[in-house]
Structure 1
Amino acid sequence: MKCFALLALLLVSSASLAEDSSTSSPCDPEACKLPHCRCSSIEIPGGLAPRDTPQFVVVAFEDSVHEENIVTYRRVLYNRRNSNGCAASATFFVSHLYTNYVFVNELYNRGHEVALHSMTHMNPSTYWRDATYDVIKQEFADQRVQMSHFANIPYDSITGMRLPFLQLSGDNSYRVMSDYGLKYDSSWATNAYTNPALWPYTLDYQSTQDCLAPPCPNASIPGVWVKPIIPWVDLDGNPCSLVHECYHSPDRFNETEWFQFFLSNFERHYFGNRAPFGVFLLEAILYPFPAVQNALQRFLDVINNLDDVFMVTADEVIEWVKNPVPVNEYRTQACRQFIPTTCVASQCEVISSYDGREYEFESCNVCPRVYPWLGNPLGQ
């Protein structure tokens, strides 16, 4: 009996040691060097001065892409160019449920980034808080296969993800990213690093970022990038991670006040350490409120004409951070290239083996046998 007790004690001790050994250590700037490693920091990559640093603006939308919101995206985003002549692009964190993949293909072929926002977008947020490695794998790694297949876009073009409700899952989501070749996550919000703001960093070492939606990652996961959610500041000075969540925001029928709201939050970055400025929106705040939509278009018109400001995808930000160059050099670089794809649309009506309901969606591939879902991302 004593032997069994001793063995059990040894097993517990070994497990504790294994857990401790996976915990990341404080970052050593001498050991953590670009392009593959970066400490969590407010310092500008490459040691550049703010005036020599490109100000990146990442406009990002979440959730499904469908017949209604694609109209807004076309109106607000299409045919924009930055001052260097390159296309101004946005990022779409797309969830599977209710998505029309023909429109996802259209967004990709317009030069916008298609990223992952989960297969199910399951409620409540505790689902994501408690999600195991296998759940995250099915929600995101399998969604990458699914997105590439039904939208007919290159698998390798899908590099980023965002967890629903910005609810983190500890180490699990980042381990899945590492194991399945995803580059960056844009789910981790901060309130402590508003001005100056936090730049993207890797999880090789311990993060100094505050944890607003625990559990936050503790393990060393080399090469995985965190693109922090830098908050906006509402009219009462309170932080808000997503624009539509700002409690004290302008009247949604007042275009001038919304334009100033966009501009004042942008200027905090532009006149600060030039960390990437995120405009993270739901289309639902634009379509019903023309004043907000017009204000956003006016704001984008302004930044698209500034010589040192660039509306780019989240993936492009990470690539610049890996190899930072001054703004005068960045302006002369070749524009980002991508491989256009075709889409032969299929109108699909299939039954879900999950809930027995019939779902309709458009695909750029042949229709599946059943509605694609967890454990069966291609509906085979």
Structure 2
Amino acid sequence: MFGQFIIFTILIAAVCAGTVRNFTTFETAQACKAESCVLPNCRCLSTEIPNGLDVNSIPQLVLLTFDDAVNTVNFKYYEEAFFNRKNPDGCSIGATYYISHEYTDYSKVQELHARGHEIALHSISHETMTTYWDDLSLDGYKDEFGGERTLIAKFADIPEEDIKGLRVPFLQLPGDTSFQAIKDLGLKYDSSWPTLRYQDPPLFPYTLDYLSNQDCPVGKCPTVSLPGVWVQPMVDWTGSDGNVCAMVDSCATPDNAPELLELMKSNFQRHYTSNKAPFGFYIHAAWFDKNPVNFEAYKQFLDYLGTLNDVYIVTVQRGIEWVQNPTTTKDLKNLWPSCPNTYEPTCEATVCTLNKGEEVRYMTQCSDCPDVYPWLGNPLGIL
């Protein structure tokens, strides 16, 4: 008892002295109890269809995501692939962009948001040393992702509350830390976690109220209880060589469009003909630059999905909304009574020439130019 008092006294003294910036306690997660983990706010890890709905009655959701900077180089692909496509309900299809800060054109970010696409977080620094993400503290994760949310909201001029998800660079799960940051920052979900164990049948999104037994092929699994934090699992694809991958552009793929299209269809069918868990197509747009057939096959795959009247291409946020409140395809209007909000972009793009230490950066954004290049610890770039 006396020892506990001493520890508590030392901790209070540290907080008062400013040596502890944040002190958040999290309980160790226990095995999931289905009777106390119920939708819409809690779901045990499962490949079972939410609320026991019949597989033939539910929609197949497709999640198209992109990592890294958004700029004029890759925006042309998004414009050509997405801007004139509709879901069966007449609403425009939606994709999710996990944006890293450097080289991003924030006027293009606003245009994507204005068209109903989801803007999500991929860190400010996108540090390439994976040990950085392994060793980063909770405060460090908050600086990377909370700071980026502030940065995007300011310089893309979009509502901060619309930004709810993150993906850790290189899918380098650090154990509990990034998920604790999601909880503390008031975000909703992570989509950094691959799975082969739950590839067939594929895994639905679930929460971290209880202990997850999802496999962790990269990094470390979380172990603490984080009520209300959602996981959008990255169900592995199988490449043309039989090996698996979470990001499709890291798969072995054919170098001709017809065979590549068939590979895309075969991975999709593993979801569509089993439990219809959301099907993720996760890439970097640079994959389209690597070989023109990649973009050609991608568009052909979207054409194919457009022939299926129970397939909806939606943002990750919208996909989790369906899992929280599962409905049949014919009742989707009850869940989504209107299309995702769209508006006319208002950005008056300004190119700012800024100093990042001794380096010069050019930043296209929708606000007044900051004093210095926005970065960790100073996401608004204020002197």
TM-score range, shorter chain: over 0.9
1:323 to 309, 325, 333: 325
2:353 to 349, 360, 368: 349
Aligned residue in 2 for 1:90:
95
Aligned residue in 2 for 1:213:
218
Aligned residue in 2 for 1:191:
196
Paired amino acid for 2:298: L
| 1:107-256 to 2 correspondences below 5 Å | 107-246=112-251, 248-251=252-255, 254-256=256-258
Paired amino acid for 1:74: E
Q: In the aligned structure 2, how far is the partner of 1:142 from the partner of 1:215?
A: 24
SS of alignment partner, residue 265 of structure 2: helix
User: Does 1:28 find its partner at 2:30?
Assistant: no
Q: Give the drift of 1:104.
A: 0.5
Aligned residue in 1 for 2:296:
294
Q: In the aligned structure 2, how far is the partner of 1:181 from the partner of 1:169?
A: 19
- Report if the CA contact (8 A) 2:91-2:340 is conserved: no
Q: In the aligned structure 1, how far is the partner of 2:377 from the partner of 2:315?
A: 30
Q: Give the drift of 1:9.
A: 12
Q: In the aligned structure 1, how far is the partner of 2:103 from the partner of 2:184?
A: 28
User: Does 1:336 find its partner at 2:321?
Assistant: no
Paired amino acid for 2:122: H
1:373 to 367, 372, 375: 375
- Report if the CA contact (8 A) 1:63-1:95 is conserved: yes
Q: In the aligned structure 2, how far is the partner of 1:318 from the partner of 1:237?
A: 30
String of CA shifts for 1:250-300, please: whole Å, max 9, x gaps. 12xx11011111111101100011111111111111134221111110110
- Report if the CA contact (8 A) 1:163-1:187 is conserved: yes
Q: In the aligned structure 2, how far is the partner of 1:20 from the partner of 1:70?
A: 42
1:57 to 59, 62, 68: 62
Q: Give the drift of 1:38.
A: 0.4
Q: Give the drift of 1:84.
A: 1.7
Identity %: 43
SS of alignment partner, residue 325 of structure 1: coil
Q: Which runs of 5+ in 1 are unaligned?
A: none
Q: Give the drift of 1:236.
A: 3.0
SS of alignment partner, residue 194 of structure 2: coil
String of CA shifts for 1:126-166, please: whole Å, max 9, x gaps. 11111110110010011101101000011111111000000
Q: CA RMSD in A?
A: 2.2
Q: In the aligned structure 2, how far is the partner of 1:205 from the partner of 1:95?
A: 30
Q: Give the drift of 1:334.
A: 2.6
Change (3 A) 1:157 1:73: same
Aligned residue in 2 for 1:43:
48
User: Does 1:270 find its partner at 2:267?
Assistant: no
Aligned residue in 1 for 2:19:
none
User: What is the count of residue pairs matched by the alignment?
Assistant: 367
- Large movers: runs of 4+ above 6 Å: none
Q: TM-score, normalised by structure 1?
A: 0.92
- Report if the CA contact (8 A) 1:129-1:168 is conserved: yes
Q: In the aligned structure 1, how far is the partner of 2:342 from the partner of 2:64?
A: 22
- Report if the CA contact (8 A) 1:95-1:118 is conserved: yes
Q: Give the drift of 1:20.
A: 11
Aligned residue in 2 for 1:72:
77
Aligned residue in 2 for 1:81:
86
Q: In the aligned structure 2, how far is the partner of 1:178 from the partner of 1:302?
A: 38
SS of alignment partner, residue 140 of structure 2: helix
Q: In the aligned structure 1, how far is the partner of 2:181 from the partner of 2:247?
A: 25
Q: In the aligned structure 2, how far is the partner of 1:311 from the partner of 1:21?
A: 35
Q: In the aligned structure 2, how far is the partner of 1:180 from the partner of 1:71?
A: 33
Q: TM-score, normalised by structure 2?
A: 0.91
Range that drifts further, 367-376 or 285-294: 285-294
Q: In the aligned structure 2, how far is the partner of 1:151 from the partner of 1:89?
A: 18
Aligned residue in 1 for 2:16:
none
Paired amino acid for 1:338: N
- Report if the CA contact (8 A) 1:242-1:281 is conserved: yes
- Report if the CA contact (8 A) 2:26-2:226 is conserved: no
